[in-house]
Structure 1
């Protein structure tokens, strides 16, 4: 198998007061009936084995740009991360900050520039680096955050092993 990362955009009020299990239930898994429709509508992004590498790419790319805080929001675990349910949220204000960072990010250039450390990170995680998968995942993630910001939405982050 591997490690799956999911990001789902939801109305900001949808996360208020929710317990970790309830947040986890908002995010469908690969084979859940709602997954394809939500993915196709741009409400959900899922990646297998590249979530941490996408975060690493964004962290490297942000260095010296002034966007380091936004990169930290999306490359790390959310502030309300729950270890038991492996879920957390990114609030509307942070979603806007991340969207501004990702909107015109040159993912392919970053992947080329930081290939060696990305490959080392992939190896440390037990994966082969597929730069095209990392770049493609980053592009889909950027589209999700830009759409979420445009609709004043939050993002639920879920990791499944």
Structure 2
């Protein structure tokens, strides 16, 4: 279980920055300025639910829409040896936003209840799958939905880092 981070950038920044430069722009929770970026709506982090969020959005063929993978798996794969940053171009951010806005996020989590319970065990969570943890996943998905909606409205790209 590790942190997962997203950062909004002007759309053209992904065209004019190297992978190393983009990687340096993805903040961590401990970076100076992280709180300010988050307060401004330019960065988002989740601590322990990213893998569960990804499963709720993509597993068991419930979502044939390729946009279901974008918010957590990225859009443009990074070449081998490049920093571990994933890039979503503005059109991919818009597609992810449409998908997230059109999804009943609480229902997606409920539909994956058994899978999420098994995953919590496999990942070694200190507590078992519960209504409380399900509510945390839904809250994080809603925060992600709002983040992507704001990014899409501004025409921004999104870069992200995290282990799923």
Equivalent pairs, count: 158
> 1:146 maps to what in 2?
149
Q: Is the 8 A contact 2:73 2:86 kept in 1?
A: no
Q: Which runs of 5+ in 2 are unaligned?
A: none
Which residue of the other structure, out of 95, 98, 101, is the alignment partner of 1:100? Answer: 98
C-alpha distance in structure 2 between counterparts of 1:124 and 1:137, whole Å: 21
C-alpha distance in structure 2 between counterparts of 1:123 and 1:24, whole Å: 31
Aligned Cα root-mean-square deviation (Å): 2.3
- Change in Cα spacing, 1:6 to 1:61, as seen in structure 2 (3 Å) is farther
> 1:132 maps to what in 2?
135
- Change in Cα spacing, 1:11 to 1:62, as seen in structure 2 (3 Å) is farther
> 1:81 maps to what in 2?
78
TM-score (norm 1): 0.86
**Moved segments of 4+, more than 3 Å:** none
Q: Is the 8 A contact 1:38 1:44 kept in 2?
A: yes
Question: Which string of whole-angstrom CA distances, capped at 9 and with x for unpartnered residues, describes residues 52-109 of structure 1?
Answer: 2111111149825x5x210022242432335652211001111111101111422112
Moved more, 118-127 or 108-117: 118-127
C-alpha distance in structure 1 between counterparts of 2:96 and 2:24, whole Å: 24
Shift of 1:112: 1.9
Moved more, 50-59 or 118-127: 118-127
Question: Which string of whole-angstrom CA distances, capped at 9 and with x for unpartnered residues, describes residues 117-149 of structure 1?
Answer: 112123223335422221111111111111111
C-alpha distance in structure 1 between counterparts of 2:79 and 2:57, whole Å: 23
